[in-house]
Structure 1
Amino acid sequence: MKVKDLAPRRRADVVVKVVSLGEKRNVIGKDGSSHQVMDVLVGDETGAILMSVWDSNIPKVTQGKVFAIEDGFVSVHRGSMRLTLGREGKLVETQGSFEVNTQNNLSDKVVEDEPRRRFR
């Protein structure tokens, strides 16, 4: 799969290069536990997307590294697509040599955030 093919609320297995790192911030989870999260711009030759990297994965991520995202998921946060790891997701460092197409940043495009269906 290529970055340009990512779509909201879909699973994703993709190889990406880290373009830039955002600031780490502390957040409180739904269960009241504290977590760290950092938004990272990643991409391939077809496009770029912000990826939310959590807790123990933050130290693994540095600019220029290439990762295979296994069991990723594209979520929508405040009208913007974000790549995250799924529940069983893996961030695996790999080899690759390509330039990232930052002109096609999927996170810059406004996406309607459909409400989650609740089953009774």
Structure 2
Amino acid sequence: SNQSCFFFFFFYLGIPKNFSEIRVRVCIPKTKRKSFELSFSMATTQQPQQQQQGSGGSKPGMRKPVFIKVDQLKPGTSGHTLTVKVVTSNTVLQKKGRNASTSQLIPRGGPTRIAECLVGDETGTILFTARNDQVDLMKLGTTVILRNAKIDMFKGSMRLAVDKWGRIEVTEPAKFVVKEDNNLSLVEYELVNVVEE
């Protein structure tokens, strides 16, 4: 027949893992005497990993965190891991979650809580902003490890915080004595525009 066409459909789930390239050839009616070919390359990333594991190679492990001290914290920085003691904890906001349409309490959402906690180590102290479930962990006298902590600026001063990308871990009581006379949150910073000459 002069009107014959061939269509080939390949679905990703049905492709064997050892295929590195799939060719789809579609011929259109003979009256037009044309054909074209499409090539799709597939990356075979699993095989080298399996070969490495089979040859005794080990997976690259997670990088060991580098612990820093409080007096090393600077404005606009993030990714900090440090061990601190909770010196004080003051709740500054406690708001119950409400459904705007019915004004009923939402049990699933829970309340919104914010506490300002003074935390520190043997080099100094800084205010830590604890949110919601974090408030329960930041109890007076507790030693915690803050992982992937960041510095937020509030009215020109530094605040330490841990967002959803970080973690707070309660740990064994630290032996150091907190240096309370070096509060980094009392230092005020001013944004200055530098004009290049």
TM bucket (normalised to shorter chain) is: 0.7 to 0.9
Match of 1:79 among 146, 149, 156: 156
The CA deviation string for residues 11-55 of structure 1, in whole angstroms up to 9 with x for no partner, is 11111000011124147xxxxx97311000000000000000000
User: Secondary structure in 1 aligned to 2:188?
Assistant: coil
Q: Aligned partners of 2:191 and 2:159: how far apart in 1?
A: 12
Residue 15 (1) aligns with residue 93 (2)? no
How far residue 113 of structure 1 moved from its aligned partner, in angstroms, is 5.0
Tell me if structure 2 keeps the 8 A contact 1:76–1:113.
no
Residue 40 (1) aligns with residue 117 (2)? yes
Which structure has the bigger radius of gyration?
2
Question: Which residue matches 1:30?
Answer: none
Tell me if structure 1 keeps the 8 A contact 2:125–2:183.
yes
How far residue 110 of structure 1 moved from its aligned partner, in angstroms, is 0.2
Aligned residues: 110
User: Secondary structure in 2 aligned to 1:62?
Assistant: coil
User: Secondary structure in 2 aligned to 1:86?
Assistant: coil
Give the TM-score normalised by the residue count of structure 1: 0.83
How far residue 109 of structure 1 moved from its aligned partner, in angstroms, is 0.4
Match of 2:134 among 57, 66, 83: 57
Give the TM-score normalised by the residue count of structure 2: 0.52
Gaps of 5+ in 2: 1-67, 96-108, 193-197
Give the letter for the 2:117 counterpart.
V
Question: Which residue matches 1:109?
Answer: 187
Deviation beyond 3 Å, 4+ runs, structure 1 = none
Q: 1:35 to 1:112 in 2, by over 3 A?
A: farther
Percent identity of paired positions between Structure 1 and Structure 2: 29
Q: Aligned partners of 2:158 and 2:149: how far apart in 1?
A: 13
Gaps of 5+ in 1: 28-32, 115-120
Q: 1:61 to 1:55 in 2, by over 3 A?
A: same
Q: 1:20 to 1:113 in 2, by over 3 A?
A: farther
Give the letter for the 2:93 counterpart.
R
Query: Which structure carries more strand by proportion?
Result: 1
Q: CA RMSD in A?
A: 2.0
Which has the higher relative contact order, 1 or 2, with Cα contacts under 8 A spaced 6 or more apart? 1
